[in-house]
A and B are shown apart, each in its own frame.
Chain A
């Protein structure tokens, strides 16, 4: 079964850091672009970042550039999002997605003092 499972969310103070992980299974992880998409409470979807199959290309939404880093480990079938200098407006459910067609259930990040 094709599956993506996110982890690493939680409550963090403004200015803090978190590292999200996404474990992939049931498909050849190294063959796909991967994405992070987030959804603030009661709001719409916001694309956050993409990474190419070999990690050689990475793209970010402007609001996270310089603070978030997307990465992957194809040997571990895992996708990551390192989030630094977190702000209240980063509070959201963070989804990992395979290009567009397979999504995880999400992990919740709350930035609050």
Chain B
């Protein structure tokens, strides 16, 4: 099985900050990676698919990059609505594993 790790596990930031979250796969997954945002008590929301493709309706301050085993999610200017937990997921092979999540909270 492909293991996914994320760093940091928690990130404290202020509105307007540039935020970067890293996701690493235990083996190459090409670009078969998605990023999700989840708020407490809510379903996950797809932000990025195929590593760098922005899902329709997602603000352009979100961007994704990477391929192979190392990926990043960047929020160019953090907004109040962005405080949440972020997960990466590989869908290169089964089982489709998620990373453990990165909680972005208010500094």
Please report A residues at the B interface, Cβ cutoff 8 Å.
35, 37, 44-47, 50, 59-62, 95, 100-101, 103-106
Name A100's contact: one of B1, B42, B91 (CB within 8 Å).
B91
- Within 8 Å by CB of B43, from A50, A62, A95, lies A95
Chain B, interface size category, equals 20 to 34
Chain B contact surface mostly: loop
Residue positions of B touching A, CB distance < 8 A? 1, 34, 36, 38, 42-46, 49, 55, 87, 89, 91, 94-101
Contact between A101 and B97, CB atoms less than 8 A apart: no
Minimum-distance CB pairs A-B, first 6: A103-B43, A47-B96, A59-B94, A45-B98, A61-B95, A44-B101
Minimum CB–CB distance from B9 to chain A (whole Å) comes to: 10
